[in-house]
Amino acid sequence: MPEMESYEDIDVIWTDKAHETKPSALIIFMQGESGHASLVSSMSVIGGREPVARIYSRYQSVEPFNAIPDLLEPCWLVYELEDEEGDRIYLLRLTNWPEPNTPTDTTNWLWCYPMARDVVNLFLELGVEQLFMLTSVAHSEKAIGGSDLIMYDFHDKDMKGGVQNSELGLMTPCWIFCELYAKLTDRDSGNGYLSMLICVKSDNMGVDEVAVQHLIDFYSDSLGLKVDSDSTTVNEFRGILNSFETDGRLNPPFFDENDSSGGYHI
């Protein structure tokens, strides 16, 4: 039977029952980013797996319109995998996010912080010792320079890649989960805590396959996960994402007013 756990501002519905606490890793990624590298690469790892949990919150950006029979789920999706050594790795798919009205919209924090806080506490309770945030959202071309991938360690405050002594501008959710996780964990405790941003350089139009490959290499080489980038599921995603002729951005819940079928359900 499904089981619900409630925190302050999120509700977690497990497909069967809440999972045991043991050393784990967590990868967070968001759909709707430019180039869709984090979404396509992550689905190449997830494949046809069903979510093990769904996270609901009143602060999520969910539009009132939906369509049956293929309802767009108004929640974030949690998947569970194992690496080559049998260690547990969670993937959290952010299907929506409350975007700021302007770059200086401080009220956006009212919606973002409660969810990020509860998500971090949830996965700390489950034993997550390594957190990775995958994103293609960067706002400084000068900082990226010729680098294809930038990695930032929130514990050591060390950035690899990009232009030396430069600053990389990020919007939520790209930094908020990692920042909170780093503040709540101690690398010197002996648990090997890691809070890492993985930022890939990506084009805006359609699926940036070069950026996708960089993140696939990270999944396979660094995390030891099996990847199938040509699965039916992934190619269906590619077909939908490449059909966009605008700036390549998707906004929840991914409806296209020119699509008579009711929208893109991914």
Mean pLDDT over the full length of the chain: 85
Higher-confidence residue of 249 and 104: namely: 104
> How many C-alpha atoms does 21 have within 13 Å on its Cβ side?
8
Pair of tokens at residue 133: 């945030």
- The pLDDT value recorded for residue 246 is 52
pLDDT of 125 over the 50 cut: yes
Pair of tokens at residue 234: 């992934």
The predicted model gives 111-119 an average pLDDT of 97
β-bridge pairing 24-30 and 128-135: parallel
Work out the pLDDT band at 248, boundaries 50, 70, 90. very low
Helical residues (DSSP H) of 7-65, grouped into ranges: 37-46
Task: Dihedral sign for Cα 9, 13, 18, 21, please.
Answer: negative
- The pLDDT value recorded for residue 42 is 95
Higher-confidence residue of 119 and 167: namely: 119
8 A C-beta contact, residue 206 and residue 244:
yes
- The pLDDT value recorded for residue 141 is 62
3-state class (DSSP) for residue 125: helix
Higher-confidence residue of 128 and 162: namely: 128
Work out the pLDDT band at 127, boundaries 50, 70, 90. very high
What is the rounded distance in angstroms from the CA atom of residue 89 to the CA atom of residue 75? 20
The CA distances from residue 242 to 80, 248, 256, in Å, are 28, 8, 14
Pair of tokens at residue 28: 């967070």
What is the rounded distance in angstroms from the CA atom of residue 13 to the CA atom of residue 15? 6
